């Protein structure tokens, strides 16, 4: 467990000078999480080669210490990307560079991020490699590109020039009919040259089969056949199609781009009495910043002012400003609405709420939906196969049946263009990107296309109780003593619970503070996952746990059992306190249901999804909550019991688990889909496949509905593309459609599937 010391679990239970142990049961549960690549602390340890406490943003880190290589990370935005196949070319080519450690680039953001060994590879080599593939690069910047009418016209200068040459060719063809066969050669060559350059660059990098190769073969073939007008029209329509595809793809990324613009570049840093404007990326945890009304927060921060009102709609979907008090966490991108506020920075550079959302969206393509992975594999052999089929179409009729060569060469070229797989490749990621952006806009983070597809199959949702169905802010309703003054044993309880972040522990500590009881000092604390906590105070063993976990202790006090039953039947959670295995008191706590819990269960029922509550609380309290929500429940479950309950449910249904605590992490991992509450523990958030940033559980039904609509769109896109290809393959072979229609069919299909995917971005009425 040593490498896991930076996790939320240990943070929640450790305090200065205090030894924290986890008993073997807990170690068994969490060791596999710590070793998993989802665990942040283990990942940091692997990357730095040392403890997770090293600062990953220290520029001297790599150059000092153990003499490890000077690893560098850099990001760019890549332009001229039309579909995921272009991204694959960039990534595969860069992976061939000596010294490159990792490369990440997604269709969702077009942000290329590489990590490389600066002693073996420099930044300019990476940039040159991408540029040689025919794509543009620009450093990551928040500045918007020029948006004037003139700038838009200049961006289309190549298309306008080609259009001009087409007009000139048409004029000469009309005025000089004898030269009409050559009139469109200049336009054809002008349009073909950049395509040929792209083919040559890609061939040098080992990429032979692409739309550029198919276009080059088709245009050259048309020129050889004397169809210069058709050749010119093919490249002209191809260029228009690419512009339309780029526009449609850009619209699909609109939601993600909006997120990228939510945080300002600068912040007002306070240093004593001095105030100065600094770059937001230079802020570090514990810095003090000031935010004026109407300004957005550049980082995650805790409110230091007594109060403040914030518009969090960009992150949570809440339409009204939210009132926050001193100590509350405010996420980056929120807008201060009513007064000047001071805040203490909590997030490191590049790790605020917006950055985490973008990272999750970018990570999506590494967790592709099964249908998307199938399409990727299919497209690798599809294009070479279709080139072989086109070759047979060209050769067999003339050789075997004496047909005219020029007719079948022309039909073979048309078939090549129809066979282009671009529309098929983009059909899935366009829908996935739109769905992820739509979910993020509502405050739901889904970690990839695989999770999105699995969400569509969910038929049962299991909920944790405390902090999920309830607010997780219980209050103490009763304190009952057995043969010992309250103040004496409450002082020992405060010592053992001090430093814990568990909702019940916090409520008990708050009650002890209200009673003005001074806490003792614990010498040793051991956390018993699912069983409570035990500590040594003044050489006495103090234990706090549930009645079930401490059944043997409760049995020694005949009056205790009836008190526990009475309290639990009133909807309370009961914590038992023992000193040296003798029961000294009970603490009763009651939690409050979330305002949207009943609505969440009702929404799930409306879409045909069942609900069950899995809780470690006692059966009587669980039954009281379940009756209010009209749902099934299982109570008195340890973490391993929750996993078993999930396994049983999975025998008949696909199951999602919604939870927020450390004890929920194994169940979140065991379920088909784990959904963590946004303010839950670090372990739960890292383990889950999705997260609710705003803690509104009514959105669980929304994300399942969204995933179902996304899968419907994906299957519609695939069906549309394949149907169009079959129709135009037949008409091309029959000579009904030619090269121009082939290009229009391919580009039109790409635009259609992207436009269909954009429907997922529409706001749905609640």
Q: Which two tokens stand for residue 211?
A: 């739309």
d(CA 270, CA 661): 35
Rg of the chain over Cα atoms, rounded to whole angstroms, equals: 32
Alpha carbon distance 212, 197 (integer Å): 9
Q: Do 479 and 586 belong together in one domain?
A: yes
Cα 419 off chain centre by: 33
- Does a structural domain hold residue 356? no
Is 173 found in the same domain as 196? yes
Do the Cβ atoms of 530 and 663 come closer than 8 Å?
yes
The domain boundary, picked from 568, 590, 612, lies at 590
> What pLDDT was estimated at residue 248?
55
Helix axis angle for 503-514 and 486-497, nearest 10°, is: 140
Residue 477: φ, ψ to 5°: -105, -20
Q: What is the pLDDT of residue 45?
A: 30
How many separate domains does the chain show? 6
CB atoms within 10 A of CB 185: 17
What is the C-alpha to C-alpha distance for residues 206 and 129, in angstroms, rounded to an integer?
13
Token pair listed for 440? 């993020």
Q: What are phi and psi of 737, to 5 degrees?
A: -115, 150
CATH number for position 630: 3.40.50.1000
Nearest one of 348, 436, 408, 419 to 378, comparing CA atoms: 419
Separation of alpha carbons 346 and 284, rounded Å? 7
- CA-nearest of 740, 664, 170 to 410 is 740
Residue 480: predicted pLDDT: 92
DSSP state of 763: P
CATH at residue 322: 2.70.150.10
Q: Distance between CA atoms of 658 and 728, rounded to whole angstroms?
A: 48
Q: Which of 326, 351, 376 is the last residue of a domain?
A: 351
Q: Which residue segment(s) compose the domain that 629 sits in?
A: 444-470+593-693
Asked whether the beta carbons of 758 and 248 are under 8 A apart, the reply is yes
In a domain, 361, yes or no: no
Residue whose entry in the numeric block shows the structure tokens 């912040």: 267
pTM listed for this prediction: 0.56
Burial of 719 (0-12, 13-18, 19+ CB in 10 A): exposed
pLDDT of residue 452: 84
Residues 522 and 611 in one domain: no
Q: Which residues contact 121 (CB under 8 A, 6 or more apart)?
A: 97, 98, 99, 100
Residue with tokens 């950049």: 194
User: Which H or E element spans position 586?
Assistant: strand 582-590
Residue 729: strand, helix, or coil = helix
Q: How many helices (H) and strands (E) does the chain have?
A: 29, 27
Same domain membership, residue 608 and residue 460: yes
Phi, psi of 351 (to 5 degrees): -130, 20
Q: What is the pLDDT of residue 280?
A: 82
Q: Is residue 332 within 8 Å of residue 298, measured between CB atoms?
A: yes
Task: Assess whether 679 and 719 both reside in one domain.
Answer: no
User: Chunked in runs of 10, what are the mean pLDDT values of the chain (766 residues)?
Assistant: 30 32 29 32 31 36 42 77 71 85 73 83 86 74 46 64 83 76 82 78 64 73 75 76 61 57 81 85 88 87 88 60 83 84 86 68 51 60 76 88 85 76 72 80 76 89 87 85 88 86 82 88 77 86 88 87 86 89 90 88 93 86 87 85 90 89 75 79 63 82 92 89 85 80 75 83 59
pLDDT score recorded for residue 309: 84
Same domain? For 480 and 578 the reply is: yes
Name residues whose C-beta falls within 8 Å of residue 548's C-beta, 6 or more positions apart in sequence: 618, 636
The phi and psi torsions of 336 (rounded to 5 degrees) equal -70, 130
Three-state DSSP at 56 gives coil
Q: What is the pLDDT of residue 603?
A: 93
Residues 559 and 644 in one domain: no
Whether 57 is covered by a domain: the verdict is: no
Q: Check whether residue 384 and residue 401 sit in a common domain.
A: yes
Q: In this structure, are residues 613 and 633 in contact, taking their beta carbons and an 8 Å threshold?
A: yes
Q: Is residue 65 part of a domain?
A: no
332 and 291 in a single domain? The answer is yes
Q: Say if 700 falls within a structural domain.
A: no
Q: Do 195 and 135 fall within a single domain?
A: no
Strand partners, 117: 71
In the numeric block, the tokens 């700038």 are attached to: 151
- Measured CA to CA, the distance from residue 69 to residue 730 in angstroms comes to 58
Nearest Cα neighbor of 80 from 8, 138, 3 is: 138
- Answer yes or no: is 53 within a domain: no
573 Ramachandran zone, left/alpha/beta (phi>0; psi -120 to 50) = beta
Q: Are 481 and 576 in the same domain?
A: yes
Supply the pLDDT for residue 685.
Answer: 58
346 φ, ψ to 5°? -120, -25
Please give the structure tokens belonging to residue 613: 């509550």
- Structure token pair of residue 579: 């000193």
Q: Is 60 a domain residue?
A: no
Query: Domain for residue 61, yes or no?
Result: no
Active-site entry in 287, 295, 311, 464 = 464
- The distance in angstroms from the start CA to the end CA of the chain is 45
Q: Is 464 a catalytic residue?
A: yes
Give the per-residue pLDDT at 14.
Answer: 32
* Same-domain pairing of 452 and 520: no
Domain boundary residue among 565, 590, 615?
590
């Amino acid at each position: 467990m040593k490498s896991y010391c930076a996790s939320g679990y240990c943070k929640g239970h450790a305090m200065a000078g205090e030894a924290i142990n986890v008993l073997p049961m807990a170690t068994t549960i969490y060791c596999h999480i710590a070793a998993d690549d989802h665990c942040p602390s283990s990942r940091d340890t692997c990357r730095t080669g040392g403890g997770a406490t090293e600062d990953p943003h220290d520029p001297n880190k790599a150059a000092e210490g153990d003499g490890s290589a000077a690893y560098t990370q850099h990001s760019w935005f890549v332009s001229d990307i039309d579909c995921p196949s272009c991204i694959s070319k960039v990534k595969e080519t860069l992976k061939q560079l000596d010294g490159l450690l990792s490369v990440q680039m997604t269709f969702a953001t077009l942000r290329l991020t590489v990590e490389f060994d600066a002693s073996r590879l420099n930044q300019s080599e990476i940039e040159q490699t991408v540029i040689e593939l025919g794509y543009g690069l620009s450093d990551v910047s928040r500045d918007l590109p020029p948006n004037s009418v003139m700038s838009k016209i200049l961006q289309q200068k190549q298309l306008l020039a080609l259009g001009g040459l087409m007009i000139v060719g048409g004029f000469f063809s009309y005025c000089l009919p004898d030269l009409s066969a050559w009139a469109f050669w200049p336009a054809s060559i002008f349009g073909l040259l950049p395509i040929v350059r792209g083919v040559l660059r890609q061939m040098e990098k080992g990429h032979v089969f692409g739309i550029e190769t198919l276009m080059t073969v088709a245009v050259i073939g048309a020129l050889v056949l004397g169809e210069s007008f058709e050749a010119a029209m093919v490249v002209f329509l191809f260029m228009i199609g690419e512009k339309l595809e780029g526009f449609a793809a850009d619209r699909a990324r609109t939601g993600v781009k909006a997120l990228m613009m939510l945080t300002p570049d600068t912040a007002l840093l306070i240093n004593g009495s001095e105030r100065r404007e600094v770059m937001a990326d230079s802020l570090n945890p514990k810095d003090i910043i000031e935010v004026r009304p109407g300004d957005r927060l550049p980082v995650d921060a805790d409110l230091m002012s007594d109060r403040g009102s914030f518009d969090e709609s960009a992150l949570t979907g809440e339409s009204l400003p939210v009132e926050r008090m001193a100590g509350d966490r405010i996420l980056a991108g929120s807008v201060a609405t009513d007064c000047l506020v001071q805040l203490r920075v909590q997030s490191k550079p590049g790790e605020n709420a917006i950055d985490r959302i973008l990272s999750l969206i970018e990570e999506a393509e590494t967790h592709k939906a099964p249908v998307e992975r199938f399409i990727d594999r299919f497209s690798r052999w599809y294009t070479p196969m279709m080139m072989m089929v086109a070759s047979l179409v060209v050769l067999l009729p003339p050789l075997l049946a004496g047909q005219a060569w020029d007719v079948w060469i022309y039909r073979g070229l048309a078939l090549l263009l129809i066979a282009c797989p671009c529309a098929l490749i983009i059909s899935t990621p366009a829908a996935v990107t739109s769905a992820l952006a739509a979910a993020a806009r509502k405050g739901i983070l889904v970690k990839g296309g695989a999770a999105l597809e699995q969400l569509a199959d969910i038929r049962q949702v299991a909920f944790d109780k405390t902090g999920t169905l309830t607010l997780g802010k219980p209050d103490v309703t009763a304190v009952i003593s057995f043969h010992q003054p309250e103040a004496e044993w409450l002082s020992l309880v405060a010592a053992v619970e001090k430093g814990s972040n568990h909702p019940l522990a916090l409520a008990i500590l708050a009650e002890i503070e209200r009673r003005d009881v001074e806490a003792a000092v614990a010498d040793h604390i051991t956390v018993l996952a699912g069983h409570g906590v035990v500590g040594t105070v003044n050489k006495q063993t103090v234990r706090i746990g549930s009645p079930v976990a401490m059944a043997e202790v409760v049995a020694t006090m005949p009056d205790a059992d009836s008190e526990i039953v009475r309290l639990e039947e009133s909807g309370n959670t009961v914590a038992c306190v023992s000193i040296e295995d003798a029961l000294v008191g009970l603490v009763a706590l009651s939690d409050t249901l979330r305002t949207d819990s009943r609505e969440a269960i009702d929404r799930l029922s409306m879409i045909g999804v069942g609900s069950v509550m899995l809780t470690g609380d006692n059966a009587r309290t669980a039954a009281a909550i379940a009756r209010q929500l009209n749902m099934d429940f299982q109570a008195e479950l340890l973490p391993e019991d929750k996993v078993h309950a999930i396994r049983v449910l999975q025998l008949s249904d696909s199951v999602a688990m919604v939870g927020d605590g450390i004890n929920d992490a194994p169940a979140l991992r065991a379920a088909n889909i784990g959904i963590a509450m946004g303010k839950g523990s670090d372990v739960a958030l890292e383990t889950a496949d999705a997260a609710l940033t705003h803690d509104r559980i009514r959105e669980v039904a929304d994300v399942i509905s969204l995933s179902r609509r996304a899968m419907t769109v994906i299957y519609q896109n695939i069906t549309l593309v394949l149907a169009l290809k079959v129709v135009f393959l037949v008409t091309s072979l029959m000579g009904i459609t030619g090269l121009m229609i082939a290009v229009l069919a391919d580009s039109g299909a790409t635009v259609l599937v992207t436009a269909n995917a954009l429907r997922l971005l529409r706001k749905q009425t609640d």
